[in-house]
Structure 1
């Protein structure tokens, strides 16, 4: 199993939580490495995978089968960067402009484009997209794309980076799940986020929609799944137990489990805003979020058709077992 050792996954890595009937050889890898190796070489039996990438593989022979476990979720209003001196103050101002994205198909970019189109009046096709490495040259799309003519996507130069092009004025904005390197300096390196208070924008978005965007899912290689159909459900059960173990001590006040003095207060704020089960696994609690993402993927020229959420996952994981 290749997956970043998030707190909600860590008990699987340590063996505190086991997958019934299996022994895990857990590889704690950066997400980009896991995605690349699984897509190019199918090296792992189980792997974390970009939700967008997984959806695109369904039309390319469906080599993987997902389970409704979502190790990575993130709001993405905070993922839009412009130059500090840019006149752009509203997403609609980007119409007619040029935006950098590491890859057109990455999940974070799908969410950003969909949210800006649906909620801020910036049609997807009104922007030119340039793809490449954020701070290191040479990144390419992991999958070959066949996009409508109205959507303009081209790679940047082999020695160029999105961060540098943004600072130099060749790009009007960058959509990136990671902070551009210059932004990590104390003064922001000449960059700023487009949304001046992204947390407020993200909380407002959740209040309106109920959506906490899904970034990644877990997949099994199809040949492994077809040999061991039972593994899909057992993996979901183990991940549920691992998540429960990880999150159980977040709000502890007697002896702080983590090195953040007011983490308990953040837990209370999160619970008030998102509910008691703020990081749900399983199909039904995530149906609306998945349906929105699939609508965005198709509308942006990525998915060949509008998939239904049920089509994404092993059928064994879609129904509750009544005992």
Structure 2
């Protein structure tokens, strides 16, 4: 019996490489891996649903499920996670020294619906008491003009948001002081190039993020993996077979990180970092599956609802394929 051919759009993460290079092969499936930047993948999947299986922004996925306008469903595989306190950049002359100083300021954002921005806004409110309605939002391209939301969103009236000029970029505006702050998953090029005008709100962000994890137990989820519903209807076994294979691929990465005879990663003190991470977060510090991620998923849904991105309560059972609720272990 021939295998099912599926296109799979995803960036080149170490945790999917055993799938992309064929070391692990999902039972009954040939994956045609398409390596693309995440922004392109998300745009094409949300706008045109081009791929059979795809990495997708968690925030955009919640919007799609809230509206019922997109025909795909997720498996609990989280190929991207990121603590996002590091993603708040400020102009050095803005007078911003602490999160509370963001009130009343001009804050740039590439897209309001970005998952990184969803988490940052939620953290600003829950941890520092700064509400989204207390800032003036400016949306647009970070490095090139013309960026717009992947899908149109309707926000609460109290959210003051406007697009930047057709020829402007957020990178130029944060450096010049036309905006006071920038919230984004990608560091602006002016910061990367050492501009004295731009710095992080949290210079020692690692310590801040570790304290956040100790307090909440949350390792923010950025991206899920979705499968077209038409495939699931014809081949329901695909969901679990992919979930199993993604889990096996991630476990191979864990095995590589545990090696001490030689380092697979170009990082001098990798072993020390892995040991510190396990001490804080446990051996399975990048968990897949439902139960280990229930609080994190519920928090993301709550933030999306509070921020007006979605308009009804979404339960975990509404978001993930039923067959993947049983945990897979080797």
Q: TM-score range by the shorter chain?
A: over 0.9
Please name the residue that 1:116 is paired with. 124
Shift of 1:306: 2.0
Q: Secondary structure at the match of 2:147?
A: coil
Which of 86, 95, 98 is matched with 1:90 structurally? 98
Q: Which runs of 5+ in 1 are unaligned?
A: none
Structure 1 window deviating more from structure 2 (57-66 vs 100-109): it is 57-66
Q: Secondary structure at the match of 1:302?
A: coil
Shift of 1:309: 2.1
Please name the residue that 1:157 is paired with. 165
Shift of 1:250: 1.2
Please name the residue that 1:298 is paired with. 305
Structure 1 window deviating more from structure 2 (8-17 vs 253-262): it is 253-262
Residues 1:140 and 2:148 are matched in the alignment? yes
Deviations 1:165-184 (A, max 9, x none): 11222211100100101111
Shift of 1:319: 2.8
CA contact 1:294–1:309 (8 Å) conserved in 2 = no
Please name the residue that 2:221 is paired with. 214
Which of 13, 25, 29 is matched with 2:32 structurally? 25
Q: Secondary structure at the match of 2:284?
A: coil
Residues 1:174 and 2:182 are matched in the alignment? yes
Please name the residue that 2:13 is paired with. 6
Shift of 1:278: 0.2
The CA distance in 1 between the partners of 2:225 and 2:252, in whole Å, is 19
TM-score, normalization: structure 2?
A: 0.95
Shift of 1:96: 1.1
Shift of 1:9: 0.5
The CA distance in 2 between the partners of 1:247 and 1:319, in whole Å, is 21
The CA distance in 2 between the partners of 1:27 and 1:322, in whole Å, is 28
Please name the residue that 2:282 is paired with. 275
Shift of 1:76: 0.3
Q: Secondary structure at the match of 1:160?
A: coil
Q: Secondary structure at the match of 1:286?
A: helix
The CA distance in 2 between the partners of 1:321 and 1:34, in whole Å, is 27
Which of 176, 192, 202 is matched with 1:195 structurally? 202
CA contact 1:3–1:48 (8 Å) conserved in 2 = yes
Pairwise CA RMSD:
1.4
Deviations 1:25-45 (A, max 9, x none): 111111011111111221110
Q: Secondary structure at the match of 2:167?
A: coil
Q: Which runs of 5+ in 2 are unaligned?
A: 1-7
The CA distance in 2 between the partners of 1:8 and 1:319, in whole Å, is 21
The CA distance in 2 between the partners of 1:266 and 1:286, in whole Å, is 23
The CA distance in 1 between the partners of 2:195 and 2:28, in whole Å, is 49
Structure 1 window deviating more from structure 2 (244-253 vs 226-235): it is 244-253
The CA distance in 2 between the partners of 1:57 and 1:13, in whole Å, is 27
Structure 1 window deviating more from structure 2 (151-160 vs 45-54): it is 151-160
Deviations 1:31-60 (A, max 9, x none): 011111111221110000000000101114
1:255-274 alignment runs, 5 A limit: 255-274=262-281
Structure 1 window deviating more from structure 2 (195-204 vs 247-256): it is 247-256
Structure 1 window deviating more from structure 2 (231-240 vs 33-42): it is 33-42
The CA distance in 2 between the partners of 1:286 and 1:220, in whole Å, is 19
CA contact 2:94–2:177 (8 Å) conserved in 1 = no
Please name the residue that 1:223 is paired with. 230
Residues 1:76 and 2:84 are matched in the alignment? yes
Please name the residue that 1:252 is paired with. 259
The change in CA–CA distance for 1:172 and 1:3 in structure 2 (over 3 A counts) is same
